[in-house]
Chains A and B, each alone.
Chain A
Amino acid sequence: MSRQSNRTTDNKKMNSELFTLTYGALVTQLCKDYENDEEVNKQLDKMGYNIGVRLIEDFLARSSVGRCQDFRETADVIAKVAFKMYLGVTPSVTNWSPAGDEFSLVLESNPLVDFVELPDNHNVLIYSNLLCGVLRGALEMVQMAVDVRFAQDTLRGDNVTEIRMKFIKRIEENLPYHIRFF
């Protein structure tokens, strides 16, 4: 992402193959650095989280989306605006739980896995786990604690990629202790 002075005409394209391959190189390096795949999953999630807490600011600055009124609106904004903006795909929002606190993002195609095939010795690896971290980090910054995980993954033989998101709670804002007694 580079600096643009004019946000509204910001249609700068990035080579998607370069992006996909860069992500691949990152995962490969993590697999080399860590003994087991669970640890790699954890690292991907952590990296994603750190990206998410910054990415949300960029998202808000660019999209002029205000605060969402409910979780359904949040789901729509994530699918239709955020995924479109950053990954160029629009997942469908489905499988709402009856209580309305849980839904799935179903991706027909996942741009991160364009050239990927998981070898047999990596069957625990959640290749695109970075996305979970990004979503978790970004939503945490707008006072929403969520649980995000992959429910289906084309890399593991499923037909689609499904990200399951569960609303946990609103993070209440409190007046910091040091200020309360000024």
Chain B
Amino acid sequence: MTVHNLYIFDRNGACLHYSEWNRKKQAGISKQEEFKLMYGMLFSIRSFVSKMSPLDMREGFQCFQTSRYKLHFYETPTGLKFIMNTDLSVPNARETLHQIYSTLYVDYIVKNPLCSLGDPLQSDLFSARLDTFIKNLPYFNPRAA
């Protein structure tokens, strides 16, 4: 069980934060390209999912998985997007992503008047707390990866 990496995007598609833990393979493109690719995919899949939905939809797109990894997606009503890649054994991580939003992002970024919203996050405090938070997750265990 493990966590590979985490992206945070704002409502305009800017990548506010990226960190990785047990990522064994890089995409082979620059980080900027990778963020664009990720955001573009999410944007399309989200609108696809809501357009194609045969039922009235509340939550929408939540996650997808391949044979090797699972991508968890959580979006706040304000349009912030939290994306976490984990291995397949991790169950629903929406609650975890919501916690990152409500206890870390809101407390250390939104309530810090010196952090301007919409720019890449530069708070070391936030990064450190996030790192601790992820490493303390029950399913963060690099040895088993």
Binding site for B on A (CB under 8 A): 1, 3, 5, 7, 53-54, 56-58, 60-62, 66-67, 141-143, 173, 175-176, 178-180, 182
Contacts and interface: CB of A to CB of B under 8 A. Distances in A.
Given A54-B111, A179-B13, A142 B37 contact: no
Kindly name the residue among A3, A143, A179 whose own CB sees the greatest number of chain B CB atoms within 10 A: A179
Closest 9 pairs between A and B when the two form their complex, measured CB to CB: A61-B102, A61-B106, A176-B13, A57-B110, A182-B36, A141-B78, A67-B77, A142-B77, A54-B110
A7 B117 CA distance: 23
B102 A3 contact: no
B118 to A, nearest CB: 10
Contacts of A176: 12-13
B56 to A, nearest CB: 10
Contacts of B37: 182
B21 interface: no
Kindly name the residue among A54, A60, A61, A66 whose own CB sees the greatest number of chain B CB atoms within 10 A: A61
* Majority secondary structure of chain B interface residues (helix, strand, loop or mixed): helix
B58 A58 contact: no
Contacts of A53: 117
Contacts of B80: 57
A180 B78 contact: no
17 contacts: A3-B107, A57-B80, A57-B105, A57-B106, A58-B110, A60-B78, A61-B102, A67-B58, A142-B77, A173-B11, A175-B40, A176-B13, A179-B13, A179-B36, A179-B39, A182-B36, A182-B40
Interface in B100-145: 101-103, 105-107, 110-111, 117
A51 B110 CA distance: 10
A66 B71 CA distance: 22
Contact of B43 (A56, A67, A142, A179): A179
Contacts of A141: 78-79
A12 to B, nearest CB: 14
B20 interface: no
Interface in B1-24: 11-13
A180 B40 contact: yes
A165 to B, nearest CB: 18
Contacts of B117: 53-54
Contacts of B12: 176
B79 A179 contact: no
Contact of A142 (B39, B78, B103, B107): B78
Contacts of A142: 77-78
A58 B78 contact: no
Nearest to A53: B117
A67 B59 CA distance: 9
